[in-house]
Homo-oligomer: A and B are copies of this chain.
């Protein structure tokens, strides 16, 4: 083992039994920004913040069009596009901030960046970005997970100083597999059982089996709490902490569910050697260069 669990407060996948550990970093900050004190407080309590109509339907239409363009123009052999196992349907496209000027601009939008800076209390850079398509009638589920567990173990992200932004590009409703979260779960770190298999990401992007909680871990997180699924029209945005336990059901409805994601990490929290004895995941999943995001003039 290359990593000593004694030096790593967030070690995971090192024994046959899961374990709950407290979070070290505080959530939220008192840095200035567009969010009210109440909103920052709510984010700190729940681990997420839902903002309806942060983007207009015109903004959303442009993002959807850019996703289609990227799918169409994606060069053969370039990594970062994930297709459904059984069909030639695109499920995700990664590293949008690298491959698309349009998405670079979206991720530099002050509506996102100033809020991310305020919640993380520092300048930020993009750790990962992607568009997720959950197609109508057969969109697949994402099992429960904490992003941070994977980012820490497999990418080497040292601390819980990152957050995800999910922009709804279609309505997200009860029946098209909306994001489900456990409010408050970001305060507890679940050390998962098992080991990290070789090239785990190739499998885990389709169906994650390692780094996921057991039923009793989930039940412990749910003591005194309830699962919540933020729902809303296209243009709504969810900011959520890197350690928030979340997942989403399959989509049997005739409406696709499309979300644009970006992960802002604090510039003080750049990646180190992964906290497992595997090489780091490819850069389309985890940027290894810290470049602070500058707000677009807009």
**A interface with B by C-beta (< 8 Å):** 136-137, 141, 143-144, 174-175, 177, 180, 215, 218-219, 222, 227, 229, 247, 249-250, 252-254
Among B136, B141, B174, B247, contact of A229 (Cβ-Cβ < 8 Å): B174
Query: Is there an interface contact between B141 and A250, defined as CB atoms closer than 8 Å?
Result: yes
A143 to B139, CA, bound (A): 12
B143 pairs with A218, CB closer than 8 A: no
Give the distance in Å from the alpha carbon of A253 to the alpha carbon of B151 in the complex. 24
Q: A144-B252, A218-B254, A247-B252 are in contact. List 19 more A-B contacts (CB 8 A).
A: A136-B215, A137-B215, A137-B218, A141-B252, A143-B252, A174-B174, A174-B229, A175-B227, A175-B229, A175-B249, A177-B249, A180-B252, A215-B254, A219-B254, A222-B254, A227-B253, A249-B249, A249-B250, A250-B250
Question: Within 8 Å CB of A175, what residues of B?
Answer: 180, 227, 229, 249
Interface-central residue, A175, A177, A222, A252, by most chain B CB under 10 Å: A252
Chain B residues contacting A253 (CB-CB under 8 Å) are 227
Q: What number of copies of this chain does the assembly contain?
A: 2
Q: Contacts of A229 on B, CB cut-off 8 Å? A: 174-175
Cα separation A252 to B144 with both chains bound (whole Å): 8
Contacts of A249 in B (CB 8 A): 175, 177, 249-250, 252
Residues of B within 8 A of A252 (CB): 141, 143-144, 180, 247, 249
In the complex, A143→B250 CA distance in Å?
A: 11
- Which chain B residues border A136 with CB–CB below 8 Å? 215
Task: Kindly report which residue of chain B lies nearest to residue A253, judged by CB atoms.
Answer: B227
Determine the chain B residues whose CB is within 8 A of the CB of A218 once the complex forms. 137, 254
